[in-house]
């Protein structure tokens, strides 16, 4: 957690709130000053508490704690800016947790790569009771990562990110592919 700056003054000194009998007592005033030194950082943190809950303004040492509140596990790669972006995007991902979009956004936030998500499910309607249901019998989720540097992707971490964003009952597969070149001059 953050350390308090030296010489931080309290907005509410305890010594001035004592009865008149103790206002001139040096021991009572020094004791209250010691409590003021202990309480000043607490008052400062409470006054600034909304800033601690905002990914853009929270101190760096609070980012992992803040991410834990929304179920994110951050690594130290990419620095504070990357962590702040992941936390900001994490709240939006949680609103749609379990959808293809949330998987795509979670992978993009963690790895900054283009992602395609292919689901096995579907919806349909019919006026006849004997119609075939849409989709596959067994649920499946295929996550295709498009990157020019496949070795830069930590597969274990990618698996964790996908598991945290997808429905728990749906198994998933991962494919990491190179970007396609639509330029006919570059195709062999």
Pair 117, 173 in one domain? yes
Mean pLDDT of 170-175: 94
Pair 43, 105 in one domain? no
- Structural domain boundaries enclosing 31: 20-51
Helix, strand or coil for residue 119? strand
Is residue 59 included in any domain, yes or no?
no
Domain total of the chain:
2
Residues in contact with 109: Cβ distance below 8 Å, sequence separation at least 6, in sequence order: 85, 86, 89, 90, 93
Is residue 86 included in any domain, yes or no?
no
**CATH (domain of 125):** 3.30.300
Query: Does 188 have pLDDT greater than 50?
Result: no
Is residue 187 included in any domain, yes or no?
no
Pair 41, 102 in one domain? no
Is residue 60 included in any domain, yes or no?
no
Beta bridge partners of 118: 142
What string of H, E and C letters represents the secondary structure of 51-85?
A: HHCCCCCCCHHHHHHHHHHCCCCCCCCCHHHHHHH
Pair 104, 172 in one domain? yes
Query: Does 98 have pLDDT greater than 80?
Result: yes
Is residue 149 included in any domain, yes or no?
yes
Distance of alpha carbon 15 from the chain centroid? 43
- Rounded Cα distance, 168 and 160, in Å: 12
Is residue 147 included in any domain, yes or no?
yes
Is residue 117 included in any domain, yes or no?
yes
Query: Does 6 have pLDDT greater than 90?
Result: no
Distance of alpha carbon 120 from the chain centroid? 28
Q: Helix, strand, coil: what percent of the chain each, to 5?
A: 45, 10, 45
- Rounded Cα distance, 141 and 3, in Å: 45
- pLDDT at 185 (0 to 100): 46
Pair 103, 174 in one domain? yes
Is residue 9 included in any domain, yes or no?
no
Mean pLDDT of the chain: 85
Pair 105, 35 in one domain? no
């Amino acid at each position: 957690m953050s350390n308090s700056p030296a010489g931080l003054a309290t907005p509410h000194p305890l010594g001035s709130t004592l009865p008149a009998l103790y206002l001139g007592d040096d021991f009572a005033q020094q004791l209250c000053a010691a409590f003021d030194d202990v309480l000043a950082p607490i008052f400062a943190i409470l006054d600034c508490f909304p800033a601690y809950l905002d990914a853009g303004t929270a101190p760096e040492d609070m980012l992992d704690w803040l991410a834990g509140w929304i179920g994110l596990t951050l690594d130290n790669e990419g620095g504070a800016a990357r962590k702040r972006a992941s936390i900001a995007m994490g709240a939006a991902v949680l609103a749609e947790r379990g959808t293809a979009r949330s998987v795509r956004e979670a992978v993009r936030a963690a790895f900054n790569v283009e992602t395609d998500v292919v689901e096995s499910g579907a919806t349909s309607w019919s006026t006849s009771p004997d119609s075939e249901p849409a989709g596959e019998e067994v649920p499946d989720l295929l996550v295709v990562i498009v990157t020019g540097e496949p070795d830069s992707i930590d597969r274990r971490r990618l698996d964790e990110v996908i598991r945290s964003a997808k429905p728990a009952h749906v198994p998933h597969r991962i494919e990491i592919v190179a970007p396609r070149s639509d330029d006919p001059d570059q195709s062999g």
